[in-house]
Amino acid sequence: MKFLCMTSELEDASSRGFVLEGEKLFAVRRSGLVYVYINRCPHRGVGLEWTPDQFLDSSNSLIQCASHGALFLIENGECVAGPCAGQSLTPVECREDAQGIWINI
């Protein structure tokens, strides 16, 4: 497992981008749980963020692709609206402990 960040660096209902070992990733915290995905839209293969660390829609309830507005469920990365409906983001195994957030990449 590789260290991603301290727990305090990812607040609830927020997202944050990372580059670890050359791989672009992003993490989202929702209801106290952390979800990590490869930062690549399944439709065009581009990064999802609007601006640095902005991966969520205006309600902070869905992940949104800046390129074409596709919407993804935070909990499993499934596209629920847009040109890649039915496809999913690539999840990254993660865990959280007293030291912070860890991923298996």
* pLDDT tens-place string over residues 63-91: 999 988 999 999 999 999 999 989 999 99
Give pLDDT, residue 60. Answer: 95
pLDDT tens per residue, range 29-52: 999 999 999 999 998 888 999 899
pTM of the model: 0.95
Q: Look up tokens 């607040």; give the residue.
A: 11
Give pLDDT, residue 45. Answer: 84
Give pLDDT, residue 68. Answer: 86
Coil, strand, or helix at residue 35?
strand
Is it the case that residue 6 has pLDDT exceeding 90?
Answer: yes
Answer for the pair 88, 79: CB distance below 8 angstroms, yes or no: yes
Record: fold of 2-104: Rieske Iron-sulfur Protein (2.102.10)
Strand partners, 74: none
Give pLDDT, residue 89. Answer: 97
List strands edge to edge, sheet with 62-64.
62-64, 71-73, 79-81
Give pLDDT, residue 44. Answer: 82
Give pLDDT, residue 105. Answer: 83
